[in-house]
Structure 1
């Protein structure tokens, strides 16, 4: 915020009073802008949203760039964006968000709502008490501002406080800031400002080229015009010492307004304009003593120890006010000198002016301490651990695609359940075209699973078909790897197809993958044929979607039979279904056929064909039919019989591994032996003539379907992905 004021002040000098209001508002007023960053497809851990524009780079350098550097050392990936370029779509690509010095606006408010709905963590970082005007009113300079500019400044401050309150926790630089922020959020981490690698390198270079000085040089690196009162506090001491020590030189850097009382000593004063931060180490290295005075206010007590750190890195001792972060970080007499009064300032300056050995000793001590505790690469652990604890557990379901199939629907329902139970959930697949999918009115982020784009940490990733296992194998940032086995996919391929071998290998060569299933028969063959012990949870159904307006079938009038399945897949055994209906009386039965992929064969008897029916419309087709014939010989879990029963319809099926765990012949359905066409025809006629049997199948069918409602098995689904303690 001080940097913003400096820009306003510079406008006053360069362009006149009339321009101040316009310039100030351009720097600090919240507004929506049309420019958007091109959305990346890379999934990472943290997005820093920077509220300081390029005209005020200093705060963001310490609190965005340096913190990102800290996190990189601890294997936490990050990105950054200027707050006016934030897009809603970015919420899907990160586990957490850190707003730095951002004011509230409506778009950010909606962004945070969505982030929390997706179980992302939202944090606020600030390095000054610019979150309420009760703090900024302590800055004397603000009283000199024009009323409309002060109003805009105050509005910006209050908007930052508003945004802070919406966040889950905070990050800041000092103890006093932490204490005040705790009035707004429940938890605040102190992560002090640190020196980046580049700062360290530039400071080392300045230190190596440091020259012996023929005068005593003291430096005040003020920063902004708001520090006038701080310098004025020690100015009487400076004047007295300049009278006494004619070889004393005062360096002033920044926007400090030089008091008239110092005009008499202008030959001993060297003024420097603002310099790029890369040149600052060289400038600080030119002085013997660094001055860091602060008047005793709560606002100043919350300030960081940057001035001491920057001087310590080039072995220049600091005399500072015994306040806030200086008091916490400086051991007086050893790594700097702390002053509580004007008399202390005089005593400290005289001591260091007259004792070069003490200057050097304090400078070296400060340098050693700073190298151990204030370099970015040594100080990121607390921040990294804080973020890890704040992240919600995340889980990524890796799909072959989002094309509708039974396996995909199972996976998406698992994703929706895990999101509902507090997990940060995404789905991913190669070359994803969508950015979002919707399940049960829940938005699920879609990520690209291409190599190199999943850079963020992943608590759990779930392969859902054999083709997706390799995506897990090549990603080292996945903590727990799972394979949700929904079918014996080796059998998808006939002899001679090399894919049969590749599919089969995924059940035997992955020792670091935990196997899961939603089918008892899959659980059995994984154990007996591959030695894999896997966790099981029952499969589910959206009962209400199918049960809506469910009615018991009377089979009066023309009886409508539904055949479902892809006739191009041999294991769906659809031909047998049509062999059955071809034996039935044409006048008595109407045949509907539903297939997502293949078209009906020429010899099929089909009165109405449904192709690529959206999942939302499937239930209505079931409701309009009386009997479902399902003749698949291989199913991981067979949904159609369960869905048909939920609508009140009747089921004739071939028993297979995917349906025998819930179908019971004569209780909730009728089963026949595969290939026995006459038996199947007889069972259909039995349904037509035996009313009591139909009623029993109707009641028990509804009961079976209800027990499998997703809402009733949520805990079992969640337990699949929870690691045992």
Structure 2
């Protein structure tokens, strides 16, 4: 018996989580102890989509730190940096895709994507760890070998042949001469490209367009049928009802939905995305379109609508591909054998993993700082008249569990005079603590007013200005106050200046707004105006330090 633990990002519906569950369930049946480690406790209701998931042992990371395992697997990029927290005889990286490709392009005008290149590089650094690697697609093996020298073990994903077949129920029978198209995937995930896929399908001659999604929605404009958060044993009924799956992802490991469609009697249209060549052959069992060749997608849908013989030929070849594909039991046996081999031979220790984690985190922090210094000097040294620089406020809120990025709102402003920023606070009758971060970069910020107002009633829940004073506001993080009688003036010497608002607030209305009037100045112009200010000497030291760090 082997004691196996997987670090799991989420218990929610996803293809990657399903793969881990299918392996874990079968290894537990064969006698191994299998643990799924999550950051937060998992409620049984979260597992509705996989009826066997509750049979596994779900524990939190805090609980796992009190235990020891024979082998611990990282299953997404951030989990590699958590391996050091849990004691195990051996460690492994189960790579289901190259996740650095999941990040959208960096965009300085959007706060969540402002420093995305830093996160992308940090993600990529997870592949530098000298861990044994198991993966599911040839292209991932090649990538990890060519860039990092890994000799990854390839174990392709299996499939539930008891669920995905042509013999079960349908949501609705197919209609002769009619083409029913299915789009699958979560909304608002850029590399899944679901919204654009739906748009193209709706432009085509398809008679019906259906959507199968893990996103929580009830309908989607123009779509004939929408299926949200469906248990996996019910998804085959949807596949059997459709003729073709249109799946236009930009990044995949070895995507399962087209293969599931093959097993249920249909075919697929896909982009030439990584991993498609594991089983898809253009114009034999499916259609492969060059990435972003949108007019070609529409044309191929129209071809399948008008040419029933071609559609039938694709579906026939797809069924032959499905017939030869291994099931989960076969693949789980291979996966289990590889874990036992790693456990018996690996010399990767917890101390070694901790060392790599520390070095990677240090490199990330230095990259963040270099980005911040570069922005500072670009702005300070700019002589261009009228050039404006983007900045952001962030508003954090919590009701007893501390501030997190999941409970954060933001608004943007420019450094071209007094600006008013605002965010609508979410309804919450519990006492809510609020923190305002007035900047995300080095600079001098003057604040004239901070106000919390109910826009429906006009009631002021809190206000700080030259009349009421700013003394009750607590400065924290990377900022120092500059003495000023009329304004709250602060020097942000890093990217995380914080202003803690006093007390707590009940957000009882639907339009309770936090407003802030502020003005951002360049540091050198402020320094020159502080002739006798006691902060000047300290401020000048900070500026000289920043210049030296350039």
Task: State the TM-score bracket (shorter-chain normalisation).
Answer: 0.5 to 0.7
The answer to whether 1:414 aligns with 2:414 is no
The answer to whether 1:484 aligns with 2:101 is no
Alignment match, 1:473: 84
The answer on whether the counterparts of 2:25 and 2:56 sit within 8 Å (CA) in structure 1 is no
1:440 and 1:567, CA in 2 relative to 1: closer, same or farther beyond 3 A? closer
The answer on whether the counterparts of 2:135 and 2:153 sit within 8 Å (CA) in structure 1 is yes
Q: Matches of 1:528 and 1:393 in 2, distance apart?
A: 32
Alignment match, 1:425: 34
Alignment match, 1:589: 207
1:420 and 1:696, CA in 2 relative to 1: closer, same or farther beyond 3 A? farther
Report how far residue 650 of structure 1 moved.
2.0
The answer on whether the counterparts of 1:551 and 1:647 sit within 8 Å (CA) in structure 2 is no
1:698 and 1:441, CA in 2 relative to 1: closer, same or farther beyond 3 A? same
1:502 and 1:442, CA in 2 relative to 1: closer, same or farther beyond 3 A? closer
Cα deviations across residues 66-115 of structure 1 (Å, max 9, x unaligned)?
xxxxxxxxxxxxxxxxxxxxxxxxxxxxxxxxxxxxxxxxxxxxxxxxxx
Cα deviations across residues 24-43 of structure 1 (Å, max 9, x unaligned)?
xxxxxxxxxxxxxxxxxxxx
Q: Which runs of 5+ in 2 are unaligned?
A: 107-114, 346-550
The answer to whether 1:572 aligns with 2:182 is no
Matches within 5 A, 1:635-674: 635-674=252-291
User: Matched residue of 1:523: which SS?
Assistant: helix
Report how far residue 505 of structure 1 moved.
2.0
1:450 and 1:630, CA in 2 relative to 1: closer, same or farther beyond 3 A? same
1:559 and 1:696, CA in 2 relative to 1: closer, same or farther beyond 3 A? closer
User: Matched residue of 1:582: which SS?
Assistant: helix
Report how far residue 500 of structure 1 moved.
2.2
1:718 and 1:450, CA in 2 relative to 1: closer, same or farther beyond 3 A? closer
1:672 and 1:550, CA in 2 relative to 1: closer, same or farther beyond 3 A? farther
Cα deviations across residues 604-636 of structure 1 (Å, max 9, x unaligned)?
532222222232322211122221111101011
Report how far residue 452 of structure 1 moved.
5.8
The answer to whether 1:395 aligns with 2:4 is yes
Matches within 5 A, 1:491-502: 491-494=101-104, 495=106, 496-497=115-116, 498-502=118-122
| 39, 61, 64: which one aligns with 1:450 | 61
Instruction: Give the structure with the larger helix fraction.
Output: 1
Report how far residue 551 of structure 1 moved.
9.7
Q: Which runs of 5+ in 1 are unaligned?
A: 1-391
| 132, 139, 162: which one aligns with 1:521 | 139
Q: Matches of 1:714 and 1:445 in 2, distance apart?
A: 15
- Output the TM-score relative to the length of structure 1: 0.42
The answer to whether 1:558 aligns with 2:178 is yes
User: Matched residue of 2:56: which SS?
Assistant: strand
The answer on whether the counterparts of 2:97 and 2:252 sit within 8 Å (CA) in structure 1 is yes
The count of aligned residue pairs is 328
Matches within 5 A, 1:261-660: 392-434=1-43, 441=52, 444-451=55-62, 453-475=64-86, 477-494=87-104, 495=106, 496-497=115-116, 498-508=118-128, 510-511=129-130, 513-549=131-167, 556-585=176-205, 589-597=207-215, 605-660=222-277
User: Matched residue of 1:570: which SS?
Assistant: coil
The answer on whether the counterparts of 2:21 and 2:53 sit within 8 Å (CA) in structure 1 is no
Report how far residue 646 of structure 1 moved.
1.0
Q: Matches of 1:395 and 1:412 in 2, distance apart?
A: 13
Q: Matches of 1:551 and 1:703 in 2, distance apart?
A: 21
The answer on whether the counterparts of 2:270 and 2:289 sit within 8 Å (CA) in structure 1 is yes
The answer on whether the counterparts of 2:181 and 2:209 sit within 8 Å (CA) in structure 1 is yes
1:600 and 1:629, CA in 2 relative to 1: closer, same or farther beyond 3 A? farther
Report how far residue 515 of structure 1 moved.
1.4
Instruction: Give the structure with the larger strand fraction.
Output: 2
Report how far residue 396 of structure 1 moved.
0.9
Report how far residue 479 of structure 1 moved.
0.8
Cα deviations across residues 141-161 of structure 1 (Å, max 9, x unaligned)?
xxxxxxxxxxxxxxxxxxxxx
Q: Matches of 1:447 and 1:691 in 2, distance apart?
A: 48
Rg larger in 1 or in 2?
A: 1
- Greater mean deviation of Cα atoms: 665-674 or 478-487: 665-674
Q: Matches of 1:590 and 1:648 in 2, distance apart?
A: 17
Alignment match, 1:699: 316
User: Matched residue of 1:480: which SS?
Assistant: strand
Cα deviations across residues 304-336 of structure 1 (Å, max 9, x unaligned)?
xxxxxxxxxxxxxxxxxxxxxxxxxxxxxxxxx
Q: Matches of 1:569 and 1:686 in 2, distance apart?
A: 29
1:442 and 1:422, CA in 2 relative to 1: closer, same or farther beyond 3 A? farther
Q: Matches of 1:599 and 1:551 in 2, distance apart?
A: 24
Matches within 5 A, 1:677-696: 677-696=294-313
Bigger RCO (CA 8 Å, 6+ sep) = 2
Cα deviations across residues 529-557 of structure 1 (Å, max 9, x unaligned)?
22222111011111220215269997614
- Greater mean deviation of Cα atoms: 615-624 or 445-454: 445-454
Cα deviations across residues 343-373 of structure 1 (Å, max 9, x unaligned)?
xxxxxxxxxxxxxxxxxxxxxxxxxxxxxxx
1:442 and 1:684, CA in 2 relative to 1: closer, same or farther beyond 3 A? closer
1:608 and 1:625, CA in 2 relative to 1: closer, same or farther beyond 3 A? same
The answer on whether the counterparts of 1:567 and 1:600 sit within 8 Å (CA) in structure 2 is no
Cα deviations across residues 372-427 of structure 1 (Å, max 9, x unaligned)?
xxxxxxxxxxxxxxxxxxxx211111101211101000011111222233322121
Q: Matches of 2:62 and 2:6 in 1, distance apart?
A: 16
User: Matched residue of 1:397: which SS?
Assistant: strand
Q: Matches of 1:464 and 1:648 in 2, distance apart?
A: 32
Matches within 5 A, 1:237-276: none
Q: Matches of 2:28 and 2:246 in 1, distance apart?
A: 35
Report how far residue 440 of structure 1 moved.
6.9
Q: Matches of 2:174 and 2:30 in 1, distance apart?
A: 41
Q: Matches of 1:490 and 1:601 in 2, distance apart?
A: 32
